[in-house]
Chain A
Amino acid sequence: MDKMPRWADIVLIPVFSLVLAFLLSGLVIVAIGEDPVAAVKLMVTGALGSTYGWGYTLYYATNFLFTGLAFAVANHARLFNIGAEGQATLGGLGVAFVCLAIPWPHWALALPAAIIGGALFGAAWAFLPAWLQAKRGSHIVITTIMFNFIGASLLNYMLVNVMRPTGSMDPATARFPPGAHLPTLHDLLAVFGIPFSKAAPANISFLVAIAACVLVWLLIWRTRLGYEIRAQGHSEPAAVYAGIRPVRIVVLAMLISGALAGCMAVNNVMGEAERLVLNAVEGAGFIGIAVALMGRSHPFGVFLAAILFGFLYQGGAELALWTTIPRELIVVIQALVILFTGALDNMVRMPLEKLFLSMRKGRG
């Protein structure tokens, strides 16, 4: 059967889905008696109109980059990892252990150690679901959901009973030592004489996330393991025939996925809060699903989608501040994006495909 041109598949369909999601969200805004055009203007000025806005947009985008890449890597092996939430929660625990372990002399030493800590804990939390999927055939979706809840309980226990400083009522760890404080974009850009908002939380983790994008691209398209992951995702029997061991690929893909999700904690726990609090992930693990689906599991697509969602998040916060539109509108937009780019993909694709084919016939 004839197919659509590649650019249409990669660019047109996600954009079309996004437009549908935005149109419906616009209807929701109209339905609650607000002006959608004014809302969009407010979001743009709030999220992109100042370095302060950009600082928040990029901070959120960093979170979504890590969780989006996490979902994307697993998705290449056709594993539906919806456990990034739990893996990022555990990553937070790992980062907190590292940051509180010794009085770090300088952030340049603390950062790599924290990345390793977060990645190890995140990967560890993904290991059991991966192993159960590979060895026992337990559905990874269900086990990762269960692990999200178990992780939340574990964090709750650790913060209330173990890591809370004596005398503190707040279920949170002590503040990290000053040597573990990451430089913000303000500090980094000041070196080049570029002014940037001092109050915004975007920090050097954004660069770590970009590096992660490049590494994931190299992994998936330039290494043997990446090839095996993609082969496994396309067809397990074919992969087995080619001498690829599914158990190994499932476990490795999930470990990498979990490690990426765990690295998110470098941004939100170490870079922003500078201590570990309850529910530190705040749903970013799930937004990673929307980000990866929008970005078609390609690191560059994930990058663009993460910036878009960072913008939506910061813009949504501005909306909640200045209008009667609650922050939860962003959750609705997120749901619609997941629905159209993920579940209703065929609804968008089929008519577009027909259109393309009829155009081609008309020409030929």
Chain B
Amino acid sequence: MDFATVLQVLDSTVRLATPLLLACLAGLFSERSGIFDIGLEGKMLFAAFFSAAIAAVTGSVWLGLLAGIASSMALAGIHGLASITFRGNQLISGVAINFLAAGLTVVIAQDWFQQGGRTPSLLGGARFGPLTLPFAETLRDVPVFGPIYHDLISGHTILVYVAFAMVPLTWWVLYRSRFGLRLRAVGDAPEAVDTAGVSVIRMRFTAVAICGVLCGVAGAYLATALQAGFVKDMTAGRGYIALAALIFSKWRPWYALSATLLFGLLQAVALRYQNIEMGGFVLPVQVMDALPYILTVVILAGFVGRAIPPRAGGSPYVKEQ
């Protein structure tokens, strides 16, 4: 494997890791506040459809992005209503949201565009184009660093840079801001936060809303940057991989970056090579597909450092009477 191939694989790793990273951070905000969210997949799918549909109709990818975020937040609102206001089962709510998105996107797409549940292909301004970072062309011929900067770091869409910038931002919010302290507290000991005079309900709704925004960006990235339009079930389990990455990273932002990059790499390798030969032993592509899930089970089993979720995760908060 030569240097150029490595760069290509890493480049597609970055592209494939971006939606995972955004969804993983989305889940991080929600679950840190004590609201389990297995509806990441559905929110992404919903956002992917509405961003592609609005971008196709208006020709503006930015309006598409806004529509994607708004639609994902609508589903987040349902999740909040069910799991915070009505103290319902958060897991069941997440399952319902995934199905709602899987069904509604196709029903609406079929009615709107009559193309078998897809949107028209997006062209020009209806899609996010690659950005060329400064000096990428001039530095191109510098050995090693030039190609890395030109091919790997430069030339992505703006959402990729947004996603990567979200990692330090999330870290800062979580560990260095008052909001973050309260967010973490609300997921571990909501009664303490309540005693301090902070509204648990409002904190959790805020977290769920942030989750909606980030899932919206992730979905918009899928349909308007990674691909050119929406197709049925285009998230293809990415929401669940993000969930796996969230556990893998033990609900911490920098680890979330490495986990999603690892899972992105697995996807990139599976995409490029079908079966991998290693010393006379053939590693079938299905193993690559299943590896993120297998790794997550191993992590969950606690054999490689234990993953402990936020303590109050999954249980609705009932104020003391």
Contact = CB atoms under 8 A, between A and B. Distances in A.
Interface of A: 28, 31-33, 80, 82, 128, 132, 136-139, 141-143, 145-147, 149-150, 153-154, 156-157, 160-161, 286, 289, 293, 324-326, 328-336, 338-339, 342-347, 350
B274 to A, nearest CB: 11
A207 B301 CA distance: 39
B284 A161 contact: yes
Kindly name the residue among B102, B108, B293 whose own CB sees the greatest number of chain A CB atoms within 10 A: B293
Nearest to A348: B86
Interface residues of B, number: 46
A28 B286 CA distance: 38
A139 B36 CA distance: 11
Contacts of A141: 38, 91
Contacts of A161: 284
A156 B287 CA distance: 10
B100 A332 contact: yes
Q: Which 4 A-B pairs have the closest CB atoms?
A: A331-B103, A335-B99, A343-B93, A342-B92
B92 to A, nearest CB: 4
B297 A147 contact: yes
Given A153-B289, A344-B82, A344-B88, A139 B300 contact: yes
Kindly name the residue among A141, A156, A324, A330 whose own CB sees the greatest number of chain B CB atoms within 10 A: A141
Contacts, number: 156
Contact of B110 (A289, A324, A332): A324
B247 A142 contact: yes
A339 B100 contact: yes
A353 to B, nearest CB: 13
A338 B95 contact: yes
B144 interface: no
Interface stretch (B9-17, B58-66, B121-129, B236-244): B236-244
B286 A154 contact: yes
B226 interface: no
Contacts of B100: 332, 335-336, 339
Given A28-B107, A326-B110, A145 B240 contact: yes
Interface string B80-117: 01110011111111011111101110111011000001
